[in-house]
Structure 1
Amino acid sequence: MRALARKGKSAAARLYRGYNRHRVSNAPAPSTKQVRILLLHANGMGGTIRTVFNLAGYLARDHDVEIVSVLKEAEQPFFPIDPRVKFRFLDDRLRPAPNPLRALLSKRPSRLIPKEESAYHRFNLWTDLKLARYIRSLENGVLIGTRPGLNLAMAQLALPSVITIGQEHVALRTQAEPVQALIKWRYRRLDALATLTKADLADYRNTLPKKPRKLIRIPNAVPPMTGGVSKLDAKVAVAVGRMTRIKGFHRLITAWQTVAETHPDWKLRIFGAGPQEETLAQLIVELGLEGKVELPGPTSDVGAELERASIYVLSSRHEGFPMTILEAMAKGLAIVSFNSPHGPKEMISHEVDGLLVKPRTNANLAASIIRVIEDEHLRRGLAARAIETARTYDVDAIGQQWDALLAELLARRTGTYTRPERRPAETPESSTATNPESTDPAATGEAADPEAADPEAPRQEAPRQEVRHRSL
């Protein structure tokens, strides 16, 4: 029976590859004119959604951009979006049509998304069907995924004639081991993988046995915000984020008890919503911090709230590339953050444009906040240099990196790509240990694997054991 099953899978794989070759042979010429970006829920709240909207608005200057949202659970987007950007929703959960097939499949768990993916519970067999049909309908253009589950589905199902780019907003090391195992196998089929941090880029470089043709680090850009910079005269510290345990707001509130004892005239405001909101409200009462710590809820005008504060605090257990830090820097706030290697450590220069604190140490967090409160010269110096740092993440500067990536991937597809010459090391002592960006492939984004680097090489076929997903 096992031998028969293997023969059946092998035959299905050959049929699938043959069908792909047939469709690719009749597909339009490679193009980057149309750019589609896959999101879980475009009308929700969250840093990934905000940054995707920012990127989509920039790309819409020269491309036809469509955000493809798996779910629709709110009538309108929470964040503002460039009117040139189009939207498509695969599963409208606000107005479910009386479809018996949908009713049946919606009750069954997803087979396309790994169980260990953090958003697995949001998917089901109906979303599998809609997502698979959409991806398989594309014949050319660019498709960008924004989370592991979507990247894995895209790598598995997209026709080789579609330029595929995986974008990672969460560090590889934080993914569950089964998800990492799938990433190691399937991500090689992507045309490019874009990380937000150098640390994460190095992790992918060292982890993936076979790599996409392009590995590159492109950070997020500072989104447009209302108002001006902070005057730093308000006795207010702020934090922004979804109220989940990973954000560490319970640690921040506990640390603020110490701050409030020495500086009762200062106030902490935490903007956001989520499953921990009630627990955090209870903690405020238990610690006697009513009136000193506020939970105003979510805000769509982050810029205005930052302008009315003087300090921004990030207390997360770990972060990918926290946009709130960039936003606070652009608004000229003094930053105090736990020292997470994938994000804050790369964004903040300790004692220059912010303070980095040993992770998960409430006392140290409180001490750093008190230091910034009591030392006005330090507070204003950190804030001024933070503004300079934020300018390096301007949307035009970051957008040009995306322009260059799309142009390179298209050139690889059309056979016109020329690999840039590497500059020789300036001294014999130069090495990747002392200057990793000068010679390390991780810095240039070039694939070290010969097969992955060859622009003429066909996209890798998926392993036989994964064929069952391809039937969707």
Structure 2
Amino acid sequence: MRALARKGKSAAVRLYRGYNRRKVQKAPPPSTKQVRILLLHSNGMGGTIRTVFNLAGYLAEHHDVEIVSILKEAEEPFFPVDPRVKFRFLDDRLNPSADPLRAVLSKMPSKIMPKEESAYHRFNLWTDLKLARYIRSLDTGVLIATRPGLNLAVAQLALPSVITIGQEHVALRTQAEPIQELIKWRYRRLDALVTLTKADLRDYREALPKKPKKLTRIPNAVPPMAGDVAKLDAKVVVAVGRLTRLKGFHRLITAWETVAAAHPDWKLRIFGAGPQEENLAQQIVEAGLTGKVELPGPTSDVGAELEKASIFVLSSRHEGFPMTILEAMAKGLAIVSFNSPHGPKEMITDEVDGLLVKPRTNANLASSIIRVIEDEQLRRDLAGRAVETAHTYDVDVIGEKWDALLAELLARRDGTYVRPQRPQPPEPSEPVAPEPQEPSEVRPQSP
């Protein structure tokens, strides 16, 4: 029976590959004119959404860009987006279709998404069907996916005539083991894999037995923000992020008990929404920090809130590439961050444009915040150099890296790619023998 099953599976694979070959033969030539970006929920809140909007706006200058959202669970985008960018929603949960098939399939668990994917519970067989149909409908252009489950689906389902790019916003080492195994064997089918950090790039180079055609690092760009840099005269410390355990705001509140005791005139504001909101509010009350720690909720204008503060704190022990650090740097705030091994450690030069807290304890976090509060010159020095660092992440600087990547992937497809020559070390020069000297003329001495 097993042998029969193996034969049946291999026959199905051959049929599938043959079907792909026939579709590719009829497909238009490779192109980067159309760029589609897959997102879980484009109208939600989160760093990935904001950075995708930022990238889409840049690419829309020279490409037809469409953000393809798996879900629609809010009527309008939370973040502003370039009007040239189009939107498509695969599963509109605000206005579900009356399709009887949807009623049945939406009650069944997803087969495309790995169970260990953090968004697995957001998918079902109906979203599987809509996603698979969409990916299989494409026969040219560029398709960019933005999370492991979507990267795996694109690697498995996209026609070979489509240029496929997986973008990773979460470090490989933080992924569940079953997902890492799928990544090792499926990501090789992608045209490119883009990481946000050098550390993650190294991990992928070591982990993947066979690699995509291009494995590279392109960090996120600073999104455009209105207003000016902070004046650093407000006695306000800011933190921003989704209110989950992963972001470590419960640790920050614990650390603030020490800060508030030393500097009761300073205030902590934590912007965001999420499942931990009620727990954090209760922790603030129980710690006697009412009025000293605020939870104002989410904000669509992060820049305006950063401008009203003097210090930004990141309390996550693990991060991919936190956009909030870049935004705070661009607004000229002094940064205090846990020394997370990937994003913050690469983004911040300790004691230069921010402070990295190590070891990552609540007491050390409190001590670093107090140090920046009490040393105004340090606060202004860190903030000034943070603005300089932020300029290296300007949209045009990062956008040029995406331009170069798309141009290279297209050249690889149409046969015009020329592999850059590695500079050869100079050949050692041979020692030059000294020229023979003419024998000096011996003049006879006068008698």
Q: TM-score, normalised by structure 1?
A: 0.90
- Could you tell me how far apart the structure 2 residues matched to 1:292 and 1:304 are? 20
Q: 1:4 deviation in Å? A: 1.3
Q: Is 1:234 matched with 2:234?
A: yes
**2:110 alignment partner AA:** S
Equivalence for 1:440:
none
CA contact (8 A) 2:317 2:339 kept: no
Matched residue, 1:436: none
CA distance in structure 1 between the aligned counterparts of 2:31 and 2:219, rounded to whole angstroms: 24
Separation in 2, partners of 1:261, 1:194: 45
Q: Relative to 1, partners in 2 of residues 1:258 and 1:426: Cα closer, same or farther, differing over 3 Å?
A: farther
What residue is the counterpart of 1:114 in the other structure?
114
Q: How many residues align?
A: 428
Give the direction of change, closer, same or farther, for the CA distance of 1:94–1:313 in structure 2 (3 Å limit): same
Alignment of 1:211-360 (within 5 A): 211-358=211-358, 360=360
* Secondary structure of the corresponding residue to residue 41 of structure 1: coil
Output the amino acid matched with 1:184.
K
Query: In 2, distance between residues paired with 1:423 and 1:263?
Result: 57
> Residue in 2 aligned with 1:463?
none
The separation in 2 between residues aligned to 1:270 and 1:264, in whole angstroms, is 17
1:27 aligns with 2:32: no
Matches within 5 A, 1:32-431: 32-358=32-358, 360-424=360-424
Per the alignment, residue 444 of structure 1 pairs with none
The residue that corresponds to 1:454 in the other structure is none
CA contact (8 A) 1:236 1:310 kept: yes
Equivalents in 1 of 2:249, 2:427: separation in Å?
48
Between the aligned partners of 1:402 and 1:98, the Cα distance in structure 2 is: 41
What is the letter of the counterpart of residue 176 of structure 1?
Answer: A
Structure 2: runs of 5+ lacking an equivalent: 429-447
TM-score, normalised via structure 2 length: 0.95
- Asked if the contact 1:30/1:413 (under 8 Å) is kept, the reply is yes
Amino acid at match of 1:200: D
Root mean square deviation of aligned Cα: 1.1
Q: Where does residue 442 of structure 1 map in the other structure? A: none
In structure 1, give the amino acid aligned to 2:261: E
What are the superposed Cα offsets for residues 80-119 of structure 1, whole Å, 9 maximum, x if unpaired? 0000000000000000122211011000000000000010
Residue 359 (structure 1) shift:
5.2
SS of the equivalent of 2:312 reads strand
- For 1:18, the aligned partner's letter is G
Secondary structure in 1 aligned to 2:193? strand
Cα 1:329–1:357, aligned 2, differ >3 Å: closer, same or farther? same
- 2:193·2:212 contact (CA, 8 Å) conserved in 1? yes
Q: Is the 8 A contact 1:235 1:265 kept in 2?
A: yes
Q: Is the 8 A contact 1:340 1:359 kept in 2?
A: no
State the shift of 1:427 in Å.
12
Q: Aligned equivalents of 1:331 and 1:93: distance in 2?
A: 37
SS in 1 for 2:143: strand
- Deviation of the 1:424 alpha carbon: 4.0
1:213-251 CA distances to partner (integer Å, 9 max, x unpaired)?
000000000001121100000000000000000000000
Cα shift at 1:317? 2.0
C-alpha distance in 1 between matches for 2:256 and 2:73: 35
- The letter for the 1-side match of 2:2 is R
Q: Is the 8 A contact 1:71 1:89 kept in 2?
A: yes
Equivalence for 2:434: none
- After TM superposition, give the deviation of residue 423 of structure 1 in Å: 2.4
- Tell me, what secondary structure is at the counterpart of 1:69? strand
How many Å separate the matches in 1 of 2:323 and 2:426? 36
CA distance in 2, matches of 1:72, 1:222: 26
* Structure 1 residue ranges (4+ consecutive) displaced by more than 6 angstroms after TM superposition: none
Q: 1:359 to 1:103 in 2, by over 3 A?
A: farther
Rg larger for: 2
Identity, % of aligned positions: 84
The whole-number CA distance in structure 2 between the counterparts of 1:160 and 1:48 is 27
1:5 is displaced (CA, Å) by 1.1
Matched residues in 1 for 2:10 and 2:368: separation? 61
Q: Deviations over 1:350-392 (max 9, x none)?
A: 0000000025400000000000000000000000000000000
* 3-state SS, counterpart of residue 58 of structure 1: helix
Q: Measure the CA separation in 1 of the matches of 2:101 and 2:207.
A: 41
- SS for the counterpart of 1:351 is coil
| Structure 2 counterpart of 1:84, one-letter code | R
Q: Measure, in 2, the Cα distance between the counterparts of 1:128 and 1:231.
A: 50
Q: 1:3 deviation in Å? A: 1.4
